[in-house]
Amino acid sequence: MLLGKTFLLIVLRALRIDSHRPFGSREAFCFVCGVCVYVVCVCQRYPIGKKKQNRHLALSDDHRSLVTVKRRTMVDSHDPESAESCSLTEDDVEPKLKYVRLSNDIKNILSEEAISCIAVHPRFLCLGTHWGRIHMLDHQGNCVHTVINRKENAHILSVNRISVDSRGEQIATCSDDGKVIISGLYTDENNQVLSTGKIIKAVELDPNHNRSGSGKRFIIGDNKLVMYEKTFLKGLKSTILSDSEGQVTAIKWNGQFVAWASSLGIHVYDLNEKCSLGFIQWEEPKEGKLTDYRCNLNWSNATTLLIGWVDTVRICVIRKRNAVEVSTRNLPVHIVDPMSTFQTDFFICGIAPLETNQLVVLGYAKERDSETNKALRPILCVLQYNASDYIEICTDSLSMRGYEEYKCDDYHLDCLIDENQYFIVSPKDVVVANLYETDDRVQWLIEHGKFEQAMDVIATHGGKYSLITVARLYLDHLLSLQHFDEAARLCQRVFGTDKQLWEEEVYKFVKVKQLRSVSSYIPITDACKLNPHVYEMVLYEYLQLDPNGFLQLVKEWPPRLYNTKAVINAVNDHFNKKDANILLEALAILYTHEKEFDRALTMYLKLQHKDVFELITTYELYGMVKDCIVQLIELDSERAIAMLLKDKIPAEDVVRELEHCEQYLYRYLDAYDKVTSNEKFHWRLVNLYARYEPDKLLSFLKRSNSYPIQEAYDICQGLKFYPEMVYLLDKMGSTREALTIIMHNLQDVPMAIDFCKEHDDMDLWNDLINESVDKPHVMTKLLNSIAGFINPELLVDKIKPGQDIEGLKESIIKMLCGYSLQVSIQEGCNQILGADYFDMHERLVRVQQGALCVTPDHVCGVCRRDIIVKDNMKTDIVMFNCRHYFHEPCLLDKYNLDICIVCNTKKLGSTGTF
């Protein structure tokens, strides 16, 4: 069979038939036997599809939430051969990867041949074709002139697998022709050509193949897994590592571990322990056989194996067993532990690692085109996996050349893990996917209107785009959407105190007449003061469209920001009756800024606006308000009076202005009396209190002495204010007349009694008694109250025989009890006083009869020498109870010893002579 395929290929070449062009009809190769169908399927070239397709992929039912992700489609441009022909349709999902189609020399290669496999090294690409040739290229698609490129076809049939050592110095290839070829890029010293006579689907070089003492090992697979290594005599020694359940289809070597796939599943072999670590049996697909699909193996690190086969992904971790378990049960040190298994909605063409718990998977759609029944575009998915399912982060649908005619195994995926670079290969195309860098992300976000995210990325990661550049684009975007408030907030957040940026960008709001939106955010501090013209434009727009807003800004903005005269002229030019009050208030504020206080004051008074008080007090315009005091009180009497009481305006001037407004005069004088001790206006207050607040008159009369009593009495008499009349009569000494008013006008007996008690005048008592004789109820009250003030007999004698007085008996008993009690109290007090007198006299005598101490510290009150002296003649000492001591010879009148000459007081006690 193998010889038949080889012969067929030779015949096709001899006939100069391009085996990569599609056969138009069955007659084109009817002379060939059925075996040629295999060659056609492998080598056929498919047309490049033009149809775009956006697919939607939902997560599996195992997820609690159903997530739909838009797939981006890579389409061809008008020039399908150009590197820029790899483009993406726009959607709302931020891409994870960016793509570029390789061109340059690879275009010439693909025009004649079709790719069967690829191997990627950080230094180059190595492509295997269905013609059996090997091509070395750099990462831009340019041919690298090496020994391998200059050689004739390495194989006569399709290259199935290419393996490159870690240093990129040796390349191993295998093919259906049964050959395994190992070639050096720089030397042919270790070149090998191994003819097995069997179909070889997989070969893998030792990653350390070029290391000295490594044995130049490599592994191949047919129906066994065999390792070859160089012997001492440069021969090859083969070692069967394991038998296989059918053909070995894939091998991946990583350190001491080798993963390989058979027709039933995946094995992991430990080269150090020389044993298999386990077998992962794969489930047969629902349609077709397991051998119809290529097993895709990859190592994400030293111990993590990625497997993608048919539509199932499995991630396995190699870990060490427990030491006790290894020693007691004679088991390998390591074990393969599956940590995640999940099924995808597509067939898997390749698998590669990305970040932690993330994979890049190349997929082939299970469904077909509904119209043509041809294959759909391949997809490249970024998946985040967990134990039993995954989340689709990003899915890109790629338009590879000829994708409509390809099968699942026609696609390959290889990667440079350290560079996060992925190579997607089809028979007629090579596309390189790279992770989006910061600048790529920012550009995509800008193109899709996600400016906030773009600014966050720049703030976090930097890049070639500046925050200001993106902010300006964002501002244009918001203005185009008429999101004016949001645009204004953006200016404040991004421009900050950058004067130049503000002045440049604020004109964008002018064009759309939305300076009002930015007015709340525009800087007004000295740290960032813009050109006055900017603020004037804002004010002018408000003046035209929103007078209330104009007034508010005039109140809030400091006048140093703009030319107030220019704004005043603009207000006068646009003055209208509809908004007259608003504009007049604004003019008052503007005139205040211009120090034209008289105009401002006039406008405030015309508007009856209470800000006039703040204007007067702030700028001390008291000299201007003498003629408008009444207007100010009418506007707000409390604030006006409080202002007038500050002694800035003489009280005489205020009183003179308020002469004709007695109510306002009363309010002012009443407040004035509370804050000052000056009583010069009290003569006015008597009449004002009597008229506007009579309740305060009596207290005022009692506390003041600065009013004419007779005039006050006349006022009170005219208004019949009897309590006030009583007080004034009492003050004038007319107590009997005052008592008459109490008894006849007020008819207040308790008040009359209290009045008599206060003055304790017998004439008043007699008048009261005489007034009460004919009034039994008054007589009773007198009997109850006079005890202790007058002799009760005077009142009892006035009672007429037979006169009916209610409660007389009780009143007399109470009066007598009170009188008796008073007498008893007086007697008790006299006894206490007498006893205290004799006790105190006895104490005084006892004290005066006591001895007095004389010490050398005492001095004579006259000569100021020590009172005790040493001399031959005795000197007598005279002592007084006031504690003054004298030498008897020092006293002027030694025979008159009753008075101390120092204190000149009468002697209180006896004197002693020693």
Residue 221: inside a domain: yes
Do the Cβ atoms of 797 and 777 come closer than 8 Å?
no
Which of 271, 277, 258 has its CA nearest to residue 333? 277
Range of the domain at 116: 106-248
Domain with residue 894: its CATH number is 3.30.40
Q: Is 506 helix (H, G, I), strand (E, B) or coil?
A: helix
pLDDT greater than 90 at residue 1: no
**Which two structure tokens, joined as six digits, stand for 78?**
């008008």
844 and 875 inside one domain: no
794 and 860 inside one domain: no
pLDDT at position 565 is 94
Between CA 611 and CA 591 the distance in angstroms is 14
**Which two structure tokens, joined as six digits, stand for 221?**
């697979």
pLDDT greater than 50 at residue 15: no
The alpha carbon of 763 is separated from its chain's Cα centroid by a whole number of angstroms, namely 89
Give per-residue pLDDT as tens, 580-609.
999 999 999 999 999 998 889 888 888 888
Region 357-385: what's the mean pLDDT?
A: 93
Which of 599, 652, 594, 646 has its CA nearest to residue 622? 646
Between CA 640 and CA 634 the distance in angstroms is 9
pLDDT greater than 70 at residue 869: yes
Region 394-418: what's the mean pLDDT?
A: 92
Which band of pLDDT confidence, cut at 50, 70 and 90, is reported for residue 83? very low
Residue 411: inside a domain: no
**Range list of H helices, 15-126:** 36-43, 105-112
- Looking at the DSSP bridge assignments, the partners of residue 218 are 205, 228
Residue 376: inside a domain: no
Last residue of a domain, one of 808, 835, 850: 850
Residue 159: inside a domain: yes
pLDDT greater than 50 at residue 893: yes
Dihedral over alpha carbons 139, 144, 148, 154 (to 10 degrees): 60
Q: How crowded is residue 77: how many other Cβ atoms within 10 Å of its Cβ?
A: 12
**Is beta strand 250-254 parallel, antiparallel or unpaired with respect to 236-243?**
unpaired
Q: Is this structure's pTM higher than 0.85?
A: no
pLDDT at position 677 is 79
Region 800-804: what's the mean pLDDT?
A: 61
Least confident of 81-90, 790-799, 892-901: 81-90
778 and 860 inside one domain: no
Residue 125: inside a domain: yes
Least confident of 322-331, 722-731, 893-902: 893-902
Which band of pLDDT confidence, cut at 50, 70 and 90, is reported for residue 849? confident
Residue 499: inside a domain: no
Which band of pLDDT confidence, cut at 50, 70 and 90, is reported for residue 91? low
Region 182-194: what's the mean pLDDT?
A: 87
The amino acid at residue 602 is T
Region 423-442: what's the mean pLDDT?
A: 93
Domain with residue 136: its CATH number is 2.130.10.10
DSSP one-letter code for 787: T
pLDDT at position 787 is 57
Average pLDDT, the chain: 81
54 Cβ neighbours under 8 A, 6+ residues apart: 70, 71, 72, 73, 89, 91, 397
Least confident of 1-5, 124-128, 129-133, 419-423: 1-5
394 Cβ neighbours under 8 A, 6+ residues apart: 69, 93, 94, 95, 96, 97, 381, 382
123 and 209 inside one domain: yes
pLDDT at position 792 is 66
Between CA 267 and CA 249 the distance in angstroms is 12
Do the Cβ atoms of 882 and 864 come closer than 8 Å?
no
pLDDT at position 569 is 94
pLDDT at position 797 is 60
The alpha carbon of 912 is separated from its chain's Cα centroid by a whole number of angstroms, namely 98
Helix/strand/coil (H/E/C) assignment for every residue in 728-781: HHHHHCCHHHHHHHHHHHHCCHHHHHHHHHHHCCHHHHHHHHHHHCCCHHHHHH
860 and 833 inside one domain: no
Q: Is 461 helix (H, G, I), strand (E, B) or coil?
A: helix
pLDDT greater than 60 at residue 529: yes
pLDDT greater than 90 at residue 426: yes
Give per-residue pLDDT as tens, 122-138.
999 999 999 999 999 99
Q: Is 87 helix (H, G, I), strand (E, B) or coil?
A: strand
Region 174-185: what's the mean pLDDT?
A: 91
Q: How crowded is residue 603: how many other Cβ atoms within 10 Å of its Cβ?
A: 22
842 and 860 inside one domain: no
Which band of pLDDT confidence, cut at 50, 70 and 90, is reported for residue 416? very high
pLDDT greater than 70 at residue 271: yes
pLDDT at position 889 is 80
pLDDT greater than 80 at residue 386: yes
Most confident of 54-58, 552-556, 815-819: 552-556
Helix/strand/coil (H/E/C) assignment for every residue in 300-312: CCCCEEEEEECCE
Last residue of a domain, one of 233, 248, 263: 248
Between CA 739 and CA 79 the distance in angstroms is 127
Give per-residue pLDDT as tens, 610-636.
888 888 888 888 888 877 888 888 888
Residue 209: inside a domain: yes
141 and 223 inside one domain: yes
Between CA 604 and CA 367 the distance in angstroms is 82
pLDDT at position 908 is 40
Which band of pLDDT confidence, cut at 50, 70 and 90, is reported for residue 547? very high
Region 441-447: what's the mean pLDDT?
A: 91
The amino acid at residue 884 is H
CB under 8 A, 24+ apart: contacts of 569-575: 570/539, 570/540, 570/543, 571/543, 574/543, 574/544
145 and 210 inside one domain: yes
pLDDT greater than 90 at residue 748: no
Residue 878: inside a domain: yes
pLDDT at position 801 is 64
Q: Is 69 helix (H, G, I), strand (E, B) or coil?
A: strand
pLDDT greater than 80 at residue 806: no
145 and 203 inside one domain: yes
pLDDT at position 864 is 79
Please give the span between the terminal C-alpha atoms of the chain, in angstroms, as a whole number: 167
111 and 243 inside one domain: yes
843 and 899 inside one domain: no
pLDDT greater than 80 at residue 147: no
Last residue of a domain, one of 228, 248, 268: 248
The alpha carbon of 153 is separated from its chain's Cα centroid by a whole number of angstroms, namely 68
pLDDT greater than 90 at residue 268: yes
**Which two structure tokens, joined as six digits, stand for 766?**
């007699």
Between CA 604 and CA 589 the distance in angstroms is 9
**Range list of H helices, 330-483:** 438-447, 451-461, 467-480
Q: Which residues of 873-886 are buried (b: 16+ CB within 10 A; e: fewer)?
A: eeeebbbbeeebbb
871 and 901 inside one domain: yes
Do the Cβ atoms of 327 and 374 come closer than 8 Å?
no
**Range list of H helices, 608-744:** 611-619, 629-635, 637-644, 651-657, 662-675, 682-692, 697-703, 709-719, 722-732, 735-741
What are the CA-CA distances from residue 907 to residues 124, 670, 845, 897 (Å)? 136, 62, 13, 8
Q: What is the number of structural domains in the chain?
A: 3
**Percent of the chain that is helix, strand, coil (3-state, to 5):** 40, 20, 35
